[in-house]
Amino acid sequence: YRRRGWVPLNRLFDMLGRNADLSRRVDLMSRITFPSLFTAFLVFYYTAYVKQQSNLDST
């Protein structure tokens, strides 16, 4: 019996390897998530900063 909802999770396990040790998996995921989250933070931060500066300059 195979549940269809677990297909994306199985693909992730296949990409990482089911027998890969924990440190390798953490390293791979951090290589992807940290730069992505940092870039998203910078975009939101500088968007808010520029918007605030334009509001201050217009007053």
Q: Residue 23's Cα: distance from chain center in Å?
A: 18
Q: What pLDDT is attached to residue 20? A: 61
Q: What pLDDT is attached to residue 56? A: 81
- Residues 54/42, Cβ–Cβ less than 8 Å: no
pLDDT over 90 at 46, yes or no: yes
Alpha helix (H) residue ranges in 1-59: 7-16, 22-58
- Dist CA 42 CA 8 (whole Å): 29
- As given in the structure block, the two tokens for residue 44 are 């939101």
**Over the stretch 2-35, which tens digit does the pLDDT of each residue have?**
566 566 667 777 766 666 677 888 888 999 999 9
User: Closest Cα partner for 24 from 13, 12, 16, 14?
Assistant: 16
pTM, 2 dp: 0.55
